[in-house]
Amino acid sequence: MNPEDTAREGHPHHLAIPPSLQGPGHGSGKPGDATTEQLMAQAIGGWRGLIDSSVPGAVFVVAYLVDSHQLTPAIWAAVASGAVIAVLRLLRRQPLRQVLSGFVGIAFAAWLASRTGKAEDFYLPGLFISGAYAVVLAISCVVGHPVLGYAVGAATGDMSGWRKVPEQRRAYSLATWIFVGQYTLKIVVLVPLYLAGEVAGLGFMKLILGWPVLALAAWLSYRIIRKARAEAPVPVPPEGHPPALSD
């Protein structure tokens, strides 16, 4: 995988690869000096975070099935696994916001299931979140402001520069629609299982439709965005002139 090119100062449409990017997966992360792979990883939260988020759900369903469908032990097992992951994230010096949001989400799902007495309700918050993501991402594309463009833009330090380039605007829109499809697929598959009370099916399909499908969506989006960024880079403003805001 080739690193992303960087615009040469004073020549907006001429691309050059600086020495810092001579090799896969490298880049300083500064504006205009980061690989698309790095930017996408920042935009979606990183691959390790995707795997971490799937562990408590897997622990919950395994404990539930092994312990003869006993809800309380399964809840405590999920919460304990979430706590372990939170500690590991702290040791990895991840932002406290990420640590707390992950654990609070698991704790809330466990609390909801304990209050209703229905094991399938452990997965209910995730269904609402997936539905919300699908709606918000779809609306952002319809109104012409795809969320993924701003997410990657934030990682480059230029939130809206990509909006000056039609090729990049189309690429970010298509990439965002891919994520809309990913979240919609989860809703279509998981809601019937939830309504039927199929806890084992919910746990299994949530794993399948979780990080593996999200990783596929991210890879497809990466290919689309990388091509657009390489072939149609954001023009570099003249020295001393800040970039103009896009509408």
What is the model's pLDDT at position 242? 52
Q: Does residue 148 form part of some domain?
A: yes
Q: Does residue 73 form part of some domain?
A: yes
H-type alpha helices, the chain: 36-44, 47-66, 71-91, 96-116, 124-142, 147-156, 166-195, 199-208, 211-231
Q: Does residue 84 form part of some domain?
A: yes
Q: Does residue 245 form part of some domain?
A: no
Q: Which of 116-120, 139-143, 163-167, 243-247 shows the highest mean pLDDT?
A: 139-143
Q: Based on the structure, what is the number of domains in the chain? A: 1
Decide if pLDDT at 142 tops 90. Answer: yes
Q: Does residue 16 form part of some domain?
A: no
Q: Does residue 29 form part of some domain?
A: yes
Q: Does residue 39 form part of some domain?
A: yes
Task: Assess contact for 121 and 112: CB atoms under 8 A.
Answer: yes
| Residues 173-213: tens digit of each pLDDT | 999 999 999 999 999 999 999 999 999 899 889 888 887 88
Average pLDDT, the chain: 77
Give the pLDDT mean for 125-152.
Answer: 93
What is the model's pLDDT at position 78? 87
Q: Does residue 237 form part of some domain?
A: no
Q: Which residue has the tokens 């084992």?
A: 200
pTM over 0.85: no
Q: Is the dihedral of CA 228, 232, 234, 236 positive or negative?
A: positive
- The number of beta carbons lying within 10 Å of the beta carbon of residue 132 is 11
**Domain limits for position 208:** 25-231
Q: Which of 92-96, 104-108, 184-188 shows the highest mean pLDDT?
A: 184-188
Decide if pLDDT at 1 tops 80. Answer: no
